[in-house]
Amino acid sequence: FTVLGFESSCDETGVALVRADAAGQVPRLLSHALHSQVAMHQAYGGVVPELASRDHIRRVLPLTDAVLAESGRSLDAVDVIAYTRGPGLAGALLVGAGVACSMGAALGIPVLGVHHLEGHLLSPFLSADPPEFPFVALLVSGGHTQLMRVDGVGRYAMLGETIDDAAGEAFDKSAKLMGLGYPGGPALSKLAEQGDPKAFALPRPLLRSGNLDFSFAGLKTAVLTQARKLGDELEARKADLAASTEAAIVDVLLKKSLAALELTGLDRLVVAGGVGANRLLRVQLNAECRRRGVRVHYPELHLCTDNGAMIAMAAAMRMASGAAEPSKRYAFDVRPRWTLGED
Protein backbone atom coordinates (compact mmCIF):
# COMPACT_ATOMS: atom_id res chain seq x y z
CA PHE A 1 0.00 0.00 0.00
CA THR A 2 1.01 3.62 -0.54
CA VAL A 3 0.79 6.27 2.19
CA LEU A 4 0.64 10.03 1.65
CA GLY A 5 1.80 11.73 4.85
CA PHE A 6 1.52 15.29 6.16
CA GLU A 7 3.60 16.95 8.88
CA SER A 8 2.55 20.37 10.21
CA SER A 9 3.13 20.28 13.97
CA CYS A 10 5.38 23.31 14.19
CA ASP A 11 7.31 25.36 11.65
CA GLU A 12 7.93 22.97 8.77
CA THR A 13 5.37 21.79 6.26
CA GLY A 14 6.31 18.29 5.12
CA VAL A 15 4.61 15.99 2.63
CA ALA A 16 5.78 12.54 1.54
CA LEU A 17 4.83 9.32 -0.20
CA VAL A 18 5.93 6.02 1.32
CA ARG A 19 5.27 2.60 -0.16
CA ALA A 20 5.00 -0.66 1.79
CA ASP A 21 5.44 -3.69 -0.46
CA ALA A 22 5.76 -7.17 0.97
CA ALA A 23 5.18 -7.95 4.65
CA GLY A 24 8.41 -8.01 6.63
CA GLN A 25 10.06 -5.49 4.33
CA VAL A 26 10.86 -1.98 5.52
CA PRO A 27 8.60 0.50 3.68
CA ARG A 28 10.46 2.80 1.32
CA LEU A 29 10.33 6.51 0.59
CA LEU A 30 9.05 7.35 -2.90
CA SER A 31 9.32 11.13 -2.66
CA HIS A 32 9.08 13.95 -0.19
CA ALA A 33 8.95 17.75 -0.09
CA LEU A 34 9.54 20.20 2.71
CA HIS A 35 9.09 23.88 3.34
CA SER A 36 10.77 25.36 6.40
CA GLN A 37 9.32 28.53 7.90
CA VAL A 38 12.52 29.29 9.80
CA ALA A 39 13.27 32.42 7.75
CA MET A 40 9.77 33.77 8.39
CA HIS A 41 9.95 33.29 12.17
CA GLN A 42 13.56 34.42 12.55
CA ALA A 43 12.60 38.10 12.81
CA TYR A 44 10.55 37.27 15.93
CA GLY A 45 13.22 35.13 17.62
CA GLY A 46 10.90 32.14 17.75
CA VAL A 47 7.86 30.48 16.19
CA VAL A 48 4.73 32.68 15.94
CA PRO A 49 1.86 30.14 16.03
CA GLU A 50 -0.66 32.16 13.99
CA LEU A 51 1.87 32.79 11.22
CA ALA A 52 2.85 29.12 11.27
CA SER A 53 -0.75 27.96 10.70
CA ARG A 54 -1.30 30.39 7.85
CA ASP A 55 1.91 29.38 6.14
CA HIS A 56 1.06 25.65 6.40
CA ILE A 57 -2.21 26.48 4.57
CA ARG A 58 -0.28 28.25 1.81
CA ARG A 59 2.30 25.49 1.35
CA VAL A 60 0.56 22.17 1.83
CA LEU A 61 -1.17 21.72 -1.57
CA PRO A 62 1.75 22.92 -3.75
CA LEU A 63 4.05 20.57 -1.79
CA THR A 64 1.57 17.71 -2.33
CA ASP A 65 1.58 18.37 -6.08
CA ALA A 66 5.39 18.37 -6.06
CA VAL A 67 5.54 15.06 -4.18
CA LEU A 68 3.10 13.36 -6.55
CA ALA A 69 4.88 14.74 -9.61
CA GLU A 70 8.28 13.63 -8.35
CA SER A 71 7.02 10.10 -7.74
CA GLY A 72 5.31 10.01 -11.14
CA ARG A 73 2.02 9.10 -9.46
CA SER A 74 -1.42 10.64 -9.15
CA LEU A 75 -3.74 10.72 -6.12
CA ASP A 76 -5.32 7.50 -7.47
CA ALA A 77 -2.18 5.66 -6.35
CA VAL A 78 -2.65 6.72 -2.72
CA ASP A 79 -4.24 4.11 -0.43
CA VAL A 80 -3.99 5.84 2.96
CA ILE A 81 -3.50 9.38 4.17
CA ALA A 82 -1.48 10.00 7.34
CA TYR A 83 -1.05 13.18 9.35
CA THR A 84 0.62 14.35 12.53
CA ARG A 85 -2.08 14.35 15.22
CA GLY A 86 0.19 15.75 17.93
CA PRO A 87 2.01 16.94 19.92
CA GLY A 88 2.60 20.45 18.59
CA LEU A 89 0.92 23.78 17.99
CA ALA A 90 -2.87 23.29 17.87
CA GLY A 91 -3.51 25.60 14.92
CA ALA A 92 -0.61 24.18 12.93
CA LEU A 93 -1.69 20.58 13.60
CA LEU A 94 -5.26 21.40 12.53
CA VAL A 95 -4.04 22.39 9.06
CA GLY A 96 -2.42 19.01 8.36
CA ALA A 97 -5.26 17.08 10.00
CA GLY A 98 -7.88 19.10 8.13
CA VAL A 99 -6.24 18.66 4.76
CA ALA A 100 -5.58 14.94 5.34
CA CYS A 101 -9.12 14.16 6.47
CA SER A 102 -10.79 16.27 3.75
CA MET A 103 -8.65 14.61 1.11
CA GLY A 104 -9.42 11.18 2.58
CA ALA A 105 -13.16 11.92 2.54
CA ALA A 106 -13.06 13.24 -1.02
CA LEU A 107 -11.13 10.21 -2.28
CA GLY A 108 -12.98 7.71 -0.06
CA ILE A 109 -9.75 6.32 1.41
CA PRO A 110 -8.87 5.81 5.10
CA VAL A 111 -6.84 8.20 7.24
CA LEU A 112 -4.48 7.70 10.17
CA GLY A 113 -3.27 10.25 12.74
CA VAL A 114 0.23 9.55 14.05
CA HIS A 115 2.36 10.74 16.95
CA HIS A 116 5.05 13.22 15.91
CA LEU A 117 7.65 11.61 18.18
CA GLU A 118 6.93 8.17 16.75
CA GLY A 119 7.77 9.77 13.41
CA HIS A 120 11.13 10.96 14.73
CA LEU A 121 11.72 7.63 16.46
CA LEU A 122 11.15 5.60 13.29
CA SER A 123 12.90 8.06 10.93
CA PRO A 124 16.16 6.02 10.94
CA PHE A 125 14.18 3.32 9.07
CA LEU A 126 14.23 5.72 6.10
CA SER A 127 17.99 5.38 5.84
CA ALA A 128 19.92 2.94 3.66
CA ASP A 129 20.96 0.92 6.73
CA PRO A 130 17.78 0.61 8.82
CA PRO A 131 17.99 -0.68 12.40
CA GLU A 132 16.48 -3.88 13.72
CA PHE A 133 14.42 -4.26 16.90
CA PRO A 134 15.04 -4.23 19.83
CA PHE A 135 17.10 -1.12 20.49
CA VAL A 136 17.68 1.76 22.87
CA ALA A 137 16.42 5.05 21.40
CA LEU A 138 17.80 8.46 22.23
CA LEU A 139 15.17 10.94 21.11
CA VAL A 140 16.66 14.42 21.13
CA SER A 141 14.56 17.15 19.56
CA GLY A 142 13.56 20.75 20.14
CA GLY A 143 10.87 19.84 22.64
CA HIS A 144 11.83 16.38 23.94
CA THR A 145 14.77 14.46 25.38
CA GLN A 146 14.01 10.83 26.13
CA LEU A 147 15.68 7.45 26.36
CA MET A 148 13.45 4.54 25.44
CA ARG A 149 13.62 0.82 25.12
CA VAL A 150 12.03 -0.08 21.79
CA ASP A 151 10.97 -3.69 21.23
CA GLY A 152 8.91 -3.15 18.11
CA VAL A 153 6.51 -0.73 16.47
CA GLY A 154 4.28 0.64 19.25
CA ARG A 155 6.27 -1.16 21.95
CA TYR A 156 8.04 1.67 23.69
CA ALA A 157 9.16 1.73 27.33
CA MET A 158 10.40 5.01 28.75
CA LEU A 159 13.76 4.70 30.50
CA GLY A 160 14.29 8.36 31.31
CA GLU A 161 13.48 11.87 30.14
CA THR A 162 14.19 15.50 30.81
CA ILE A 163 12.65 17.00 33.92
CA ASP A 164 12.80 20.51 32.44
CA ASP A 165 14.27 21.75 29.13
CA ALA A 166 14.97 19.55 26.10
CA ALA A 167 18.47 19.22 24.65
CA GLY A 168 17.44 21.17 21.54
CA GLU A 169 16.03 23.87 23.80
CA ALA A 170 19.35 24.05 25.66
CA PHE A 171 21.13 24.54 22.32
CA ASP A 172 18.59 27.14 21.15
CA LYS A 173 18.39 29.15 24.39
CA SER A 174 22.18 29.24 24.78
CA ALA A 175 22.53 30.26 21.15
CA LYS A 176 19.92 32.99 21.56
CA LEU A 177 21.73 34.61 24.47
CA MET A 178 24.93 34.54 22.43
CA GLY A 179 23.08 36.36 19.67
CA LEU A 180 23.18 33.43 17.23
CA GLY A 181 19.56 33.69 16.04
CA TYR A 182 16.79 31.10 16.03
CA PRO A 183 16.80 28.12 16.07
CA GLY A 184 20.42 28.50 17.06
CA GLY A 185 21.44 24.86 17.57
CA PRO A 186 23.15 24.45 14.19
CA ALA A 187 24.78 27.91 14.40
CA LEU A 188 26.09 27.26 17.91
CA SER A 189 27.49 23.93 16.77
CA LYS A 190 29.22 25.53 13.79
CA LEU A 191 30.78 28.28 15.92
CA ALA A 192 31.88 25.67 18.48
CA GLU A 193 34.21 24.11 15.88
CA GLN A 194 36.52 27.12 16.31
CA GLY A 195 36.38 27.10 20.12
CA ASP A 196 37.93 25.28 23.05
CA PRO A 197 35.41 22.92 24.68
CA LYS A 198 37.41 23.04 27.93
CA ALA A 199 37.53 26.86 28.12
CA PHE A 200 34.65 27.12 30.58
CA ALA A 201 33.62 24.59 33.20
CA LEU A 202 29.86 24.21 32.72
CA PRO A 203 27.64 21.87 34.75
CA ARG A 204 26.66 18.39 33.55
CA PRO A 205 23.26 18.22 35.29
CA LEU A 206 22.06 14.85 36.67
CA LEU A 207 25.13 13.07 35.30
CA ARG A 208 25.49 11.25 38.61
CA SER A 209 21.78 11.03 39.42
CA GLY A 210 21.78 7.25 39.21
CA ASN A 211 18.83 7.29 36.81
CA LEU A 212 18.35 8.09 33.12
CA ASP A 213 16.65 11.45 33.54
CA PHE A 214 18.03 14.69 32.13
CA SER A 215 17.97 18.33 33.19
CA PHE A 216 19.18 21.22 31.03
CA ALA A 217 17.62 24.30 32.65
CA GLY A 218 20.56 24.81 34.99
CA LEU A 219 23.04 24.61 32.14
CA LYS A 220 21.29 27.44 30.30
CA THR A 221 21.49 29.57 33.49
CA ALA A 222 25.19 28.76 33.83
CA VAL A 223 25.79 29.83 30.23
CA LEU A 224 23.93 33.07 30.89
CA THR A 225 25.96 33.74 34.06
CA GLN A 226 29.19 33.05 32.17
CA ALA A 227 28.15 35.34 29.31
CA ARG A 228 27.35 38.18 31.76
CA LYS A 229 30.67 37.67 33.55
CA LEU A 230 32.50 37.98 30.24
CA GLY A 231 30.74 41.24 29.43
CA ASP A 232 32.70 43.05 26.71
CA GLU A 233 34.92 40.02 26.31
CA LEU A 234 31.98 37.82 25.22
CA GLU A 235 32.38 38.63 21.55
CA ALA A 236 36.02 37.48 21.54
CA ARG A 237 35.29 34.34 23.62
CA LYS A 238 32.02 33.35 21.97
CA ALA A 239 33.44 30.35 20.12
CA ASP A 240 34.92 29.06 23.40
CA LEU A 241 31.59 29.48 25.19
CA ALA A 242 29.76 27.77 22.33
CA ALA A 243 32.23 24.87 22.35
CA SER A 244 31.96 24.50 26.14
CA THR A 245 28.15 24.54 25.97
CA GLU A 246 28.02 21.95 23.21
CA ALA A 247 30.53 19.76 25.07
CA ALA A 248 28.39 19.85 28.23
CA ILE A 249 25.15 18.92 26.40
CA VAL A 250 26.81 16.18 24.32
CA ASP A 251 28.64 14.77 27.35
CA VAL A 252 25.36 14.24 29.23
CA LEU A 253 23.58 12.73 26.19
CA LEU A 254 26.53 10.39 25.57
CA LYS A 255 26.93 9.15 29.16
CA LYS A 256 23.20 8.62 29.71
CA SER A 257 22.88 6.73 26.41
CA LEU A 258 25.75 4.45 27.41
CA ALA A 259 24.11 3.91 30.81
CA ALA A 260 20.83 2.99 29.08
CA LEU A 261 22.65 0.45 26.90
CA GLU A 262 24.28 -1.02 29.97
CA LEU A 263 21.02 -1.18 31.92
CA THR A 264 19.09 -2.90 29.11
CA GLY A 265 21.97 -5.06 27.92
CA LEU A 266 21.04 -4.14 24.33
CA ASP A 267 23.72 -3.67 21.67
CA ARG A 268 21.90 -1.28 19.37
CA LEU A 269 21.33 2.45 19.70
CA VAL A 270 19.04 4.57 17.56
CA VAL A 271 19.34 8.35 17.68
CA ALA A 272 16.50 10.53 16.40
CA GLY A 273 15.30 14.13 16.44
CA GLY A 274 16.90 17.42 15.38
CA VAL A 275 19.85 17.26 17.79
CA GLY A 276 20.70 13.90 16.20
CA ALA A 277 22.19 16.01 13.38
CA ASN A 278 24.83 17.35 15.77
CA ARG A 279 28.30 16.41 14.56
CA LEU A 280 30.02 16.21 17.94
CA LEU A 281 27.25 13.98 19.30
CA ARG A 282 27.67 11.61 16.34
CA VAL A 283 31.46 11.54 16.60
CA GLN A 284 31.43 10.76 20.32
CA LEU A 285 28.60 8.22 20.17
CA ASN A 286 30.25 6.45 17.24
CA ALA A 287 33.58 6.21 19.06
CA GLU A 288 32.19 5.00 22.39
CA CYS A 289 29.73 2.58 20.80
CA ARG A 290 32.41 1.07 18.56
CA ARG A 291 34.49 0.38 21.67
CA ARG A 292 31.54 -1.45 23.20
CA GLY A 293 30.46 -3.37 20.10
CA VAL A 294 27.23 -1.37 19.90
CA ARG A 295 25.74 -0.44 16.51
CA VAL A 296 24.41 3.11 16.18
CA HIS A 297 21.78 4.23 13.69
CA TYR A 298 20.84 7.79 12.77
CA PRO A 299 18.31 9.34 10.43
CA GLU A 300 19.85 10.86 7.31
CA LEU A 301 21.03 14.38 8.16
CA HIS A 302 18.22 16.11 6.28
CA LEU A 303 15.59 13.92 7.98
CA CYS A 304 16.67 14.63 11.58
CA THR A 305 14.43 17.68 11.95
CA ASP A 306 10.72 17.70 11.12
CA ASN A 307 9.62 16.27 7.78
CA GLY A 308 6.72 14.47 6.12
CA ALA A 309 8.71 11.32 5.31
CA MET A 310 8.89 10.27 8.96
CA ILE A 311 5.13 10.70 9.36
CA ALA A 312 4.29 8.63 6.27
CA MET A 313 6.89 6.07 7.42
CA ALA A 314 5.48 5.82 10.95
CA ALA A 315 1.99 5.29 9.54
CA ALA A 316 3.21 2.64 7.08
CA MET A 317 5.14 0.80 9.80
CA ARG A 318 2.21 0.97 12.24
CA MET A 319 -0.10 -0.48 9.62
CA ALA A 320 2.34 -3.11 8.38
CA SER A 321 2.93 -4.36 11.93
CA GLY A 322 -0.75 -4.33 12.87
CA ALA A 323 -0.19 -1.70 15.56
CA ALA A 324 -2.77 0.59 13.96
CA GLU A 325 -5.51 0.57 11.37
CA PRO A 326 -6.48 3.62 9.35
CA SER A 327 -10.16 4.50 9.36
CA LYS A 328 -12.81 6.21 7.27
CA ARG A 329 -14.02 8.24 10.21
CA TYR A 330 -13.09 11.64 8.91
CA ALA A 331 -14.08 13.67 11.97
CA PHE A 332 -10.71 14.70 13.32
CA ASP A 333 -9.18 16.16 16.40
CA VAL A 334 -5.58 16.99 17.27
CA ARG A 335 -3.57 16.40 20.45
CA PRO A 336 -1.31 19.43 21.10
CA ARG A 337 -0.11 17.73 24.31
CA TRP A 338 0.32 14.02 23.90
CA THR A 339 2.71 11.57 25.54
CA LEU A 340 4.01 8.81 23.27
CA GLY A 341 2.29 5.56 24.23
CA GLU A 342 -0.71 7.29 25.81
CA ASP A 343 -4.07 6.55 24.08
Residue numbers of the site for Fe ion (CB under 5 A)? 141, 306
Cβ-closest residue to Mg ion? 11
- Cβ neighbors of 270 (< 8 A, separation 6 or more) are 121, 124, 131, 135, 136, 137, 138, 150, 296, 297, 298
Nearer to Mg ion, 10 or 60 (CB): 10
Nearer to ligand ATP, 49 or 110 (CB): 49
- Residue 341, Ramachandran bin (φ over 0: left; ψ between -120 and 50: alpha; else beta): left
Residues between 178 and 217 that touch ligand ATP (CB under 6 A) = 183, 185-186, 189
Nearer to Mg ion, 165 or 306 (CB): 306
- CA end-to-end distance (rounded Å), the chain: 25
Is the link from the previous residue into 299 a cis peptide, with omega within 30 of 0?
A: no
Closest CA to 16 of 90, 66, 89: 66
With CB under 6 A, what is the number of residues at the site for ligand ATP?
21
Single residue of 160, 273, 299, 326 touching ligand ATP by CB under 6 A = 273
Choose among ligand ATP, Fe ion, Mg ion, none what residue 160 binds, the Cβ cut-off being 5 to 8 Å by kind.
Answer: none
11 binding Mg ion? (CB under 5 A): yes
Nearer to Fe ion, 165 or 306 (CB): 306
Least distance to ligand ATP, CB of residue 254, Å: 14
CA torsion angle 303 307 308 311 (round to 10): 80
The annotated binding site for substrate is made up of 139-143, 172, 185, 278
Single residue of 27, 142, 308, 326 touching ligand ATP by CB under 6 A = 142
Single residue of 56, 120, 256, 335 touching ligand ATP by CB under 6 A = 120
DSSP string, 247-301: HHHHHHHHHHHHHHHHHHT--EEEEESGGGG-HHHHHHHHHHHHHHT-EEE---G
Choose among ligand ATP, Mg ion, Fe ion, none what residue 189 binds, the Cβ cut-off being 5 to 8 Å by kind.
Answer: ligand ATP
The annotated binding site for Fe cation is made up of 116, 120, 306
242 binding ligand ATP? (CB under 6 A): no
Query: By the 8 A CB rule, do 91 and 55 touch?
Result: no
Chain residues binding ligand ATP by CB under 6 A are 10, 116, 120, 141-144, 168, 171-172, 183, 185-186, 189, 273-275, 277-278, 305-306
